[in-house]
Structure 1
Amino acid sequence: MGRSMKVLDGRAAALHDQMKALNLRRKSRSYANNLHEIDSMSQLSVASTAAFEDTTECGDNTTLAIAIPEDYSDCDEELESPSSSASPESPRLAYQSPTGLCDEDLAFLQSSGLERCTPLKALGEGGYGTVDLVQVTLPSGRNIVAARKVIHSPLYNQARYERELRGLMLCADCPFVVDVYTSRVTAEGSFEFLLDYAPNGTLGDMLKAMEQRRRGKERLLMPVNRIQYYAACILQGLYFIHSRGQAHRDVKPGNVLMAANGRPQLADTDSMDAVTVTKRAGTTSYQAPELWRASLQGPGYTADRADMYAMGITLAEMTCHPAGGNGKLQAVKDDPAANLPEYVPADLKDLICGMLAPAPKRLTAEQALSHKFFEGLAWQHLVEGPLSAGFSVELKSAPSVEASMLPVLDP
């Protein structure tokens, strides 16, 4: 990014200044107060050398319709260095906070959400940590549920924590990236996040179920309008990230959560870094070839192009070959034009080929959103749910919690 990143001194004021420099709409001072334990020698811009693996726990699956309003009206100023994937004239998205919380409730979540939450049930457990469903009673009297993510792996260090939080905060107003309420570092050295709960699993979960229902038949994994919708939502999230001068660096179906209303949301931002950081990160099978051979990058290469390659693989999985398709996906990577099945519509095939093209010719997120495959999509209704895209899906809703069922907490 254009701005140089200051070394943190462990004080909330220093992080507050960092967040202001990132044009964050959310109350950066509240977030800064939750990060008082940050190492004084760490930098938000540092890239962790720790190995990355799939730590996606849970999410909700949905379908939305995409919209491209005129301006990021919630931002105070422009970043000095625009992303390589979006020109200064590009349309920019205007989003409201996806939480719908009043200022008092949001401030309470940020300052006390992790300390005052009540565990309801376990959602998942892995080598990195655990995810629980928790309830929080807000000052307004509203009861909400959220996902508490606790990471205790030695592979997840301070720099990686700062990078994940920074990515979540940077995307706080984008409905196509999972929302974070607050975070902290505990006295025991664990890293905790309180996240918006996505009850419908991941896109990867959904694709596996669809493959089982397809029973080996040579046909699209889902209807074209459904592919169009999911792809548009994920690309909208990538466009938002790239226009901020960042790359997600771990795009894959397992890192797309499906929200309560069916909206796909990018998650796991611990790999996110500036587009100028071009070293390998993320999941090997989704990494672009130029990350392994620098000679393939070309002049002015930036890591947002690697995101688009991973998105191309994800789109191929959504179309015909989930989880590799018994080796068929590798053939698509080698020559997508020749090896995509004949039942794939021409426009969709062209879009996938454009995302898997060599780095200098690969589509950007902005170019992909303008592709003819998306003609007729109701962009202005993307955030509203599956029905706005012309199809219905079975959705799980977050559990409701009655106040009478909750334990009494001391003030």
Structure 2
Amino acid sequence: MSSSNRDQFIGRTLDSRYRVRAKIARGGMGTVYLGEDLRLSRKVAIKAMHPHMVDDEALVRRFEKEAHAAARLNNPNVVNVHDQGFDGEIPYLVMEYVPGITLRDLLKRQKRLTADQALEISEAVLSGLAAAHQAGFIHRDVKPENIFLANDGRIKVGDFGLARAANTNTTTGQALLGTIAYLSPELITRGVADARSDVYAFGIMLYEMLTGTQPFRGEQAVQVAYMHANQDVPKPSLISRESTPELDELVRWTTLRDPERRPRDAAVVLARLRQLLNGGLEAGTKVISDTAAAPTSVIAGTTKVLDQNTTVQQGSPTQTPPPQAPSQPPAAAGAGGVAGANGIAGAGVATGAASQRSQQAAQRADAAKQRLSPIEVSQLGAEKRAKRGKIMTLVIIALATIVAIVAWWFGQGPGNPNKQLPIVSQPAAAAPAAPATTAPAFSGAVAQLPAASA
């Protein structure tokens, strides 16, 4: 199938089962189509490899192998792979269809996310990655384009099984520039990737969610790669008021250049993130802003991801414990993700976990009155910074005024030693006598006065 008749793929039936309905998107590895599973009467996503890539037999074999591995992943925060096959020489994948937008779409729309949004998405992403890492699987291409936000509230990591093949001598130009923004230093310098490389990519993505920008940018991919290998990721709070000291530390910990000092897998990071959520961010949050038109969905009974009217609420605030060392075993890790009893997964935790947190919050109610949540601390810090900014503005204005007065005094004013002012002689005819007063004595010259009119 040549590029000239690529659209003829639409309308075909693959393996006497999958009817191709419409084209959804085109990426560096292949084209994604909306399809229908005729046997099970459900919508599916079909990703077909680009025809010009099928001549690389090693690439095709790698594509097939990785697809088989991805099909073994079964997690509510992972886009599931249902089937794999060939249409002539073109390999294709049949995947779960997730109607909605990507995290990249949300960042374009909103520029930067709130702390609540970033934490909710992060928990879902880490849940999916933790399941993959426990199964011995590495994503290798974690980025906002591969994070799917479904209309019904689910948050899923996609393109498992495609990343390794797509990143092997096939990614060039702008696609490479977009991918390299999330590559770990060890992958850039040594070409070696493990679960810690996915952790690094997550940390970069968390930074971008909080700030609306990537930490390292350049016109050429080699410039970005050099910065990843030789520079530390800055604190998000330097340019975003959404970040807190806890989130700054989470970004720093997950993006350490030395992989030996980084968390060993996503499960460790997930355990730490849930400590933050249990400590100060227990209430429901909202991922999509009010301007987005999308249906409402309740996740695990506590979190509304796509609610038009729900506002962000804060749970019982507590102090956040210090971060665990990377080598410490996860306190709440596992591959099970955060699926609730209704089977819908997202950024919230299960109903049972939410109930447990509510009980803990009630027990801590008295102590919590004397403490501030991370969000309140962030707001208080922002108010203090604004107040300090106003004071500094007044000080600068006062100093500028003093400098202007001094410059005038010694430049054009009486303080200039080189300036000679004329002395005015008294008029011959004195004015009519006035009551006697004592005139003040002036030393030096006096200002010139206009002549008295007759």
TM-score category, normalised to shorter length: 0.5 to 0.7
- Separation in 1, partners of 2:69, 2:110: 31
- Answering whether residue 63 of structure 2 is matched by residue 155 of structure 1, we say no
Structure 2 residue identity aligned to 1:320: T
1:370 equivalent among 271, 292, 299: 271
Cα distance change of structure 1 residues 257 and 153 upon mapping to structure 2, 3 Å threshold = farther
Shift in Å, 1:317: 1.1
Shift in Å, 1:266: 1.5
Correspondence for 1:309: 200
2:238 equivalent among 338, 341, 344: 341
Correspondence for 1:235: 126
- Answering whether residue 180 of structure 2 is matched by residue 256 of structure 1, we say no
2:186 equivalent among 272, 290, 296: 290
Task: Show the 5 A alignment for 1:11-410.
Answer: 114-126=15-27, 128-138=29-39, 143-155=41-53, 157-171=59-73, 173-187=74-88, 189-211=89-111, 221-270=112-161, 283-294=179-190, 303-322=194-213, 334-338=231-235, 340-341=237-238, 343=241, 344-357=243-256, 358-363=258-263, 364-371=265-272, 372-375=275-278, 385=299, 388-393=302-307
- Separation in 1, partners of 2:227, 2:21: 44
Q: With the length of structure 2 as denominator, give the TM-score of the two structures.
A: 0.50
Structure 2 residue identity aligned to 1:335: D
Cα distance change of structure 1 residues 384 and 191 upon mapping to structure 2, 3 Å threshold = farther
Assess if the C-alpha contact under 8 Å between 2:187 and 2:193 holds in 1. Answer: no
Q: Secondary structure at the match of 1:145?
A: strand
Structure 2 residue identity aligned to 1:348: L
- Separation in 1, partners of 2:135, 2:96: 22
- Separation in 2, partners of 1:356, 1:322: 16
- Separation in 1, partners of 2:193, 2:84: 30
Cα distance change of structure 1 residues 307 and 128 upon mapping to structure 2, 3 Å threshold = closer
Structure 2 residue identity aligned to 1:374: L
Q: Secondary structure at the match of 2:25?
A: strand
Cα distance change of structure 1 residues 169 and 360 upon mapping to structure 2, 3 Å threshold = same
Assess if the C-alpha contact under 8 Å between 1:202 and 1:253 holds in 2. Answer: yes
Cα distance change of structure 1 residues 146 and 114 upon mapping to structure 2, 3 Å threshold = farther
**Greater displacement, 339-348 / 242-251:** 339-348
**Greater displacement, 237-246 / 145-154:** 145-154
Assess if the C-alpha contact under 8 Å between 2:107 and 2:113 holds in 1. Answer: no
Assess if the C-alpha contact under 8 Å between 1:163 and 1:269 holds in 2. Answer: no
Assess if the C-alpha contact under 8 Å between 1:182 and 1:195 holds in 2. Answer: yes
Cα distance change of structure 1 residues 161 and 384 upon mapping to structure 2, 3 Å threshold = farther
Assess if the C-alpha contact under 8 Å between 2:14 and 2:87 holds in 1. Answer: no
Correspondence for 1:74: none
Structure 2 residue identity aligned to 1:201: I
Structure 1 segments unaligned to the other structure (5+ residues): 1-111, 212-220, 274-278, 395-411
Shift in Å, 1:310: 0.7
- Separation in 1, partners of 2:18, 2:116: 40
**Percent identity, aligned pairs only?**
25
Assess if the C-alpha contact under 8 Å between 1:137 and 1:144 holds in 2. Answer: yes
Correspondence for 1:39: none
Per-residue Cα deviation, 1:258-277 (whole angstroms, up to 9, x for no partner): 2342222122223567xxxx
- Separation in 1, partners of 2:236, 2:215: 13
Shift in Å, 1:229: 1.0
- Separation in 1, partners of 2:105, 2:62: 26
- Separation in 1, partners of 2:72, 2:187: 25
- Separation in 2, partners of 1:186, 1:161: 14
Q: Secondary structure at the match of 2:46?
A: strand
Q: Secondary structure at the match of 1:286?
A: coil
Q: With the length of structure 1 as denominator, give the TM-score of the two structures.
A: 0.54
- Separation in 1, partners of 2:110, 2:38: 37
Cα distance change of structure 1 residues 180 and 154 upon mapping to structure 2, 3 Å threshold = same
- Separation in 2, partners of 1:125, 1:182: 20
Correspondence for 2:382: none
RMSD: 3.9
Correspondence for 1:10: none
- Separation in 1, partners of 2:49, 2:307: 32
Structure 1 residue identity aligned to 2:232: D
